Amino acid sequence: MVTRLRVAACQIDSVVGDLAGNVERILAALAEAEAGGADLAVFPELAVTGYPPEDLLLKTGFVTENREALEKIAAATTGHCAAVVGFVDSDRELYNAAAICADGAVRGVYRKRLLPNHSVFDEQRYFAPRTAPPVLYDIAGVQVGISICEDGWDPTGAIAEAAAGGADVVVNINASPYHSGKQAEREAMFGTRAADAVCPVVYVNLVGGQDELVFDGGSFVAGPDSHLIARSPQFVEHTLVVDVEIPSSFRARLADARDRPVAERLEVVAVSESIERDDALLVPPLAPVLDPLDEIYEALVVGTRDYVRKNGFDDVVIGLSGGVDSALVAVIAADALGAAHVHGVLMPSRFSSDHSVTHAEALATNLGIDHRTIPIEPAHRAFLEMLEPSFEGLDPDTTEENVQSRVRGVTLMALSNKFAWMVLTTGNKTESAVGYTTLYGDTAGGFAVIKDIPKMTVYALCRRRNERAGRELVPGSILTKAPSAELRPDQTDDQSLPAYPLLDQLIELYVEQDHTAAEIVAMGYDTDVVARITRLVDLAEYKRRQSPPGVRVSRKAFGKDRRLPITNRYR
């Protein structure tokens, strides 16, 4: 005889602080789970508050209202389907918690034990860890263990603890931010946890953008043989309904399989009774995992869409230079928001080439976005005339060049103010790393879409998007010409910087892998080049602190990940 638990993994896009809206999202997914005949609906970590709520947690009123929102959700569980919902629990401390709801009430609470305090995580600032032993919940005749995100990454943690204590299935709810390759890591890790525990694991993840973080969903069920039983698609809201089989001899086989005593069985709380099922076993096909470049691209689209929409904007404006960076940002924005909501602005100066204008116009035409031309020469000339008495006797340098960038920033912000368009900046990670940006110029805006994308990946993403479209959304001429800021005659980027393939390598080593300059030189790189680039990275820290947030797609992005002092003499 085989028992089965029908589980609905409810992958939703919670919005931080939108308690009422999050209740609606949860109840809508719960109704979908019930319609699918689920015994248990599982929601992401802190689904009620959104993740991460950060210093909202210091407001006692917010914590109180979060509990009131949970009670509304619990009151809706009047059918057969129970629900596991992430929320903030409190007594004298705050806890990252999961409520087990059924029969119109909260039937139990699990509190997270392992609180991550690394990378983008800061949970020890707010939460206290669980100290009491967990309990199991008898749901439809199956004993279910609960765990939250980090608890499942520890090989001796909550999953092993619950399985050794008698769990037939362990649920793990998550708000696991995306970085490139993260889905494969999760599946390998939790497949191993399921195999070690000889127990199926239901992994449910948040989806959507929150400031610079993107949550990619990809919820799944791992079987006790470590193989996936089911998987949700990435980057979209989705309710995955699947039957998880538990053989009747399961616990006896588990006891026999281990070369150690079985731990004392955990307390079991009765939640719901089993029901007879005569329908076919429900096991949906595995949703495919995206190609690595497509995965990054979708993260950029979702992060941009949610940042713009969740902050109350409908439209965006982008300075179109005719270069590859602004081209990629425009394509992403059109995919995220629709072409009708994207406005391009060409702002030629006395140094702009004819091809920059024609390339930008071709891009706008290919995307079907609104575009206009606002020459900046009148403002540029006026600034230079205004400053001439102060600069008398001094040779022109980057000061005069940067005036052009700042005029463009002022122009875009004026359009933003007048039409309520959010300005999307177009700087990439490579340029931001070495300070090849103008503060209050091309860094001025509301959201930096590609701030975590190295220059060579910018090219790769453009080519991949063209390939998917079956035509040139980004004109090929943009992808083949030498990159240039066009702030002086005949300027190209390689006059100021090493070739981008080399520069990207150095930045990955210094920024993402945290090697020192001496360590990088020891790998065989030129001493002078390494010294110059690492010094530029250090000196540009103050610029990055004043730049807008942008989508995080790497293991270490500028922003929440990397927190170096501005005043810093370590070289």
pLDDT surpasses 90 at 562: no
Q: Which of 10, 81, 149, 199 is catalytic?
A: 149
- Please state the CATH superfamily assignment of the domain spanning residues 292-494 in this structure: HUPs (3.40.50.620)
- What single DSSP character describes residue 14? -
User: Of residues 175 and 246, which shows the higher confidence score?
Assistant: 175
Q: pLDDT of 257-295, one tens digit each? A: 444 444 568 889 898 888 888 788 888 889 999 999 999
Handedness of CA 222, 226, 229, 231 (dihedral sign): positive
Q: Does domain 2-272 have CATH number 3.30.950.10?
A: no
Choose among 409, 317, 323: nearest CA to 372: 317
Q: 144-188: per-residue pLDDT in tens?
A: 999 999 999 988 889 999 999 999 999 999 999 999 999 999 999
Q: How many residues does the chain have?
A: 571
Digit-coded pLDDT (tens) for 301-317: 999 999 999 999 999 99
CB atoms within 10 A of CB 498: 17
Given the residues 45, 161, 187, 295, the one annotated as active site: 45
pLDDT confidence of 566, banded at 50, 70, 90?
confident
| DSSP states along 506-565 | HHIIIIIS---HHHHHHTT--HHHHHHHHHHHHHTHHHHHTSPP----SSS-BTTTB---
Residue 95 has a pLDDT of 97
Q: CATH 3.60.110.10 in the chain: give the residue spans.
A: 2-272
Active site residue 81: no
- Tell me the two tokens of residue 353: 């080439």
Active-site residue identified among 10, 34, 81, 112: 112
pLDDT tens, residue by residue, 93-121:
999 999 999 999 999 999 999 888 888 88
Q: What is the pLDDT of the chain when averaged over all its residues?
A: 91
State yes or no: is 273 an active-site residue.
no
**Across 53-57, 180-184, 350-354, least confident range:** 350-354
Percentage of the residues of the chain whose pLDDT score is greater than 90: 79
| pLDDT classification of 565: cutoffs 50, 70, 90 | confident
Q: Is 455 a catalytic residue?
A: no
Contact 35, 262 (CB under 8 A): no
* Positions of CATH 3.40.50.620 in the chain: 292-494
